[in-house]
Amino acid sequence: MNDIDFSIIFNSRARVKMLTRMLECIQENTHDISKVEVIVNFDDDDNESLSSLPDLNTRFKFFNGIVNKREQNIHVNVNKMAFMAKGKYIWALGDDCHIITKHWDAIAKNKFEQAYALRSDGVWLGAVESTSVDKCLHYGWYCDAPILTKDGRDKLGYLIHPHFISVGADVATWTVYASVRRIIDLREIVFDHVTHNSVEACNTKDQTQLDYLERQMSNQVFNPFTFDYSEYINQIKSVIHE
């Protein structure tokens, strides 16, 4: 395989049809698939998904399925995959996120290369767009599935903030990178957040928010909206060149 530009990483849990469609979307919409890898974690007790591995490996040459112990905090395994990733840019997605922009990889690579020319330390967050209708913080829009740089991963020691499970990590990551103005606008790249849209279609915004907070706080100690990020902001400041 040629040098990898993009690594797409995520967990998959008993949603084989959705995962297969996601891989099809990547194959259909990527400009140079030889420079993209997709690493997917399967929980060791997810028999349905594990049985699909031989077929997925045959159909999608860019696919790499790995098996780990099920974790309450899925970002334990996401960060494991992040350090396996060969790409210069790492996109933390979900198996319910279908990329719909043609040649997304060429668009993103061009924007990242321009950013590297301005700040050579390589600590950047690429902010893509999603079809989800409920993705605004109190201070405005944020990216709920960022593309992060390998350099940032190496200098910070993680890709996804380790305190937060799936429902809070995007807020935490955005808050830290936005605080040091290391956001690349990639909103011309759009993905369809399928499951999230289904939840929002069945609930009012207030109901969705209440359900979100209840799920979040039942599984983790920290609230991403009130957490003090100063330690992590100072950490990122210590590794960037200003």
Half-sphere exposure of 145 (CA within 13 A, CB side): 24
CB atoms within 10 A of CB 184: 20
Residue 63 has pLDDT above 90, yes or no: yes
Q: Compute the average pLDDT of residues 4-22.
A: 87
The whole-angstrom separation of Cα 8 and Cα 60 is: 14
Burial class, 226, CB count within 10 angstroms (exposed 0-12 / middle 13-18 / buried 19+): exposed
pLDDT band at 200 (very low <50, low <70, confident <90, very high): very low
Residue 206 has pLDDT above 50, yes or no: no
The whole-angstrom separation of Cα 67 and Cα 56 is: 14
Residue 205 has pLDDT above 70, yes or no: no
Instruction: Give the pLDDT confidence score for residue 140 in this predicted structure.
Output: 73
Over the range 71-102, which residues count as b (16 or more CB within 10 Å of their CB) and which as e?
A: eebbbbbbbbbbeebbbbbbbbbbbbbbbebe
Q: Compute the average pLDDT of residues 83-90.
A: 96
Q: Compute the average pLDDT of residues 121-129.
A: 95
* β-strand pairing of 147-149 with 140-141: unpaired
Residue 22 has pLDDT above 50, yes or no: yes
Instruction: Give the pLDDT confidence score for residue 207 in this predicted structure.
Output: 47
Q: Compute the average pLDDT of residues 54-58.
A: 92
Which of 14 and 225 is assigned the larger pLDDT? 225
Tell me the residue type at 20: T
Residue 208 has pLDDT above 50, yes or no: no
Instruction: Give the pLDDT confidence score for residue 203 in this predicted structure.
Output: 46
Q: Compute the average pLDDT of residues 170-191.
A: 93
Which of 114 and 168 is assigned the larger pLDDT? 114
Q: Compute the average pLDDT of residues 28-45.
A: 94
Residue 17 has pLDDT above 80, yes or no: yes
Instruction: Give the pLDDT confidence score for residue 213 in this predicted structure.
Output: 55
Which of 196 and 207 is assigned the larger pLDDT? 196
Distances (CA, A) of 48 to 27, 58, 147, 166: 23, 17, 29, 22
Which of 76 and 122 is assigned the larger pLDDT? 122
What domains sit in the chain, N to C, each tagged with a CATH number? 6-239 (3.90.550.10)
Instruction: Give the pLDDT confidence score for residue 129 in this predicted structure.
Output: 92
Instruction: Give the pLDDT confidence score for residue 11 in this predicted structure.
Output: 84
Q: Which residue has the tokens 């915004």?
A: 205
Percent of the chain with pLDDT over 70: 81
Q: Are 173 and 232 in contact (CB under 8 A)?
A: no
Task: Encode pLDDT of 93-112 as tens digits.
Answer: 888 888 999 999 999 999 99
User: What size, in residues, is the chain?
Assistant: 242
pLDDT band at 8 (very low <50, low <70, confident <90, very high): very high
